[in-house]
């Protein structure tokens, strides 16, 4: 921390595959900077390589091999690693909330519009038609996401539901390039970014070795959160999140394979809705 010149630097502690923000306060101007992007892992040809241990769960890196003295020790370590190898995939299906009342002054007033409820009903119908073995519905605690999830839950009544504060809307990271009037105060990136990154780490990881069947988790949340998740999962520069656009109540689907690969199956799909129901803002 440096007080001279009215400058303060706060760090979240960057680690491999984890974005951190530095919050710099100046006497006349506030700025938030990213200290990490996925471009750190570049080889001589300029190719950005995939970090296979992005979730820090790769069996290859979970066992300390310093004690290996002979072939017997090596066999023991390999057997232990085999028990940790995932055998199933994790499917994360991200749902943006429906259109909501932008005139609301508080979160409780920003409920779904009539159109937003129709959009959520279309998505609920689509999810039911897909007939996937959904594991759980996890919803943001903001009113528009809660209402959207409730409509979806009516069509998937057997699927358990829970709420999560980490999935609330926010400003995940300063976008590159900046866009129009979207210029939150630097402290918003500092506060929201760490929370949204925590949500990513909580829900995005390969399956445990004990998981024998694929899981299908529905996350009902917000556009900024989903766009950031997509960039992080695909190891794209997270600053690119604002270059993506998502329609209301759209479906984004990411599969994490047993080997740790992240596959984007759908991005903002809303083609199942009548054209007159499709909106973005």
Q: What residue numbers does the annotated binding site for substrate cover?
A: 96-101, 144
Of the candidates 225, 191, 268, 236, the residue with the CA atom closest to the CA atom of residue 38 = 236
How is residue 276 annotated by DSSP? G
Q: Whose structure tokens read 């974005």?
A: 19
Look at residue 279 and give its three-state secondary structure.
coil
Q: Please return the burial class of 188, using the count of CB atoms within 10 Å of its CB with bins 0-12, 13-18 and 19+.
A: middle
The interaxial angle of helices 186-203 and 223-233, nearest 10 deg, is 60
User: What letter does residue 64 receive in the DSSP assignment?
Assistant: -
Query: Whole-angstrom Cα distance, residue 217 to residue 220?
Result: 10
Binding residues: 96-101, 144
């Amino acid at each position: 921390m440096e007080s001279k010149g009215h400058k303060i630097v706060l760090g979240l502690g960057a680690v491999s595959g984890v974005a951190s923000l530095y919050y710099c306060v100046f006497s006349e101007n506030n700025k938030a900077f990213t200290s990490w992007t996925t471009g750190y892992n570049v080889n001589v040809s300029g190719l950005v390589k995939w970090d296979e241990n992005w979730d820090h769960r790769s069996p290859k890196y979970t066992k300390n091999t310093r004690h290996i003295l002979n072939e017997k020790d090596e066999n023991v370590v390999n057997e232990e690693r085999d028990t940790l190898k995932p055998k199933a995939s994790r499917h994360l299906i991200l749902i943006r909330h429906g259109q909501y009342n932008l005139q609301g002054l508080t979160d409780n007033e920003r409920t779904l519009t009539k159109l937003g409820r129709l959009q959520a009903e279309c998505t609920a119908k689509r999810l039911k038609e897909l007939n996937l073995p959904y594991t759980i519905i996890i919803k943001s605690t903001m009113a528009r996401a809660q209402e959207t999830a409730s409509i979806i839950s009516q069509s998937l009544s057997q699927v358990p539901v829970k709420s999560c504060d980490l999935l609330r809307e926010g400003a995940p990271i300063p976008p590159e390039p900046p866009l129009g009037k979207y210029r939150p105060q630097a402290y918003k990136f500092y506060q929201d970014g760490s929370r949204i990154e925590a949500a990513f780490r909580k829900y995005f990881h390969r399956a445990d070795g004990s998981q024998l069947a694929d899981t299908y988790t529905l996350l009902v949340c917000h556009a900024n959160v989903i766009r950031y998740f997509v960039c992080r999962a695909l190891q794209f520069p997270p600053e690119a999140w604002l270059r993506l656009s998502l329609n209301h109540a759209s479906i984004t689907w990411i599969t994490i394979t047993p080997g740790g690969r992240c596959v984007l199956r759908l991005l903002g799909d809303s083609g199942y809705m009548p054209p007159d129901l499709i909106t973005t803002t």
